[in-house]
Amino acid sequence: MMKKDKTDRTDAEWKEILSAEQYRILRQKGTERAFTGEYNDIEEEGTYVCAGCGNPLFSSDTKYDSGSGWPSFYAPVADGHVEEKKDISHFMVRTEVLCAECNGHLGHVFPDGPKPTGMRYCINSASLKLKKDK
Ligand code: FE
């Protein structure tokens, strides 16, 4: 029996819904190349939602230029919208950031961000969709 997330979608369904790049990142924990993502340079106002399930994840209010080449935020939009999990892959100890609704891989969080949290949520553009403020 294939394990399903809160959205109840199977792997085959995800493959159909998502683009190849979104699937590789969200469902297979891939990483987009630095400075290539759609939202790296964007400063527009709005809410970044999960590209997989639409769950609100980050507000443009917390977005900042970290120079890393990936969209960076100092906090999630609200408690319980993202999950954090220890990740020991690639010979590193990191903290993975996942969508709390669909369990999709978003990126990693590092303790080198700006005030007030001191955290840097380093997120793949392909995992996000910007819902612009009107
Ligand atoms: Fe999601």
Distance (Å) from CA 49 to ligand 1 centroid: 8
**Cβ distance 15 to 6 under 8 Å?**
no
User: Residue 109 Cα, ligand 1 centroid: separation in angstroms?
Assistant: 17
For ligand 1, a single-atom ion, the residues with CB < 5 A are 50, 52-53, 55, 99, 101-102, 104
pLDDT digit string, tens, across residues 74-102: 999 999 999 999 999 999 999 999 999 99
Residue 5 CA, ligand 1 centroid: distance in Å:
10
pTM score above 0.85: yes
Q: How far is the CA of 106 from the centre of ligand 1 (A)?
A: 9
By the 8 A CB rule, do 103 and 18 touch?
no
**pLDDT tens profile 111-120:** 999 999 999 9
Residue 8 CA to ligand 1 center (angstroms) comes to 12
What percent of the chain stands above pLDDT 90? Answer: 93
C-alpha to C-alpha distance for 105 and 99, rounded to whole angstroms = 7
The residues that are catalytic are 122
Across residues 15-29, what is the average pLDDT? 97
Please give the Cα distance from 46 to 134 (Å, whole number).
8
Q: Does an H or E element contain 110, and which?
A: strand 105-110
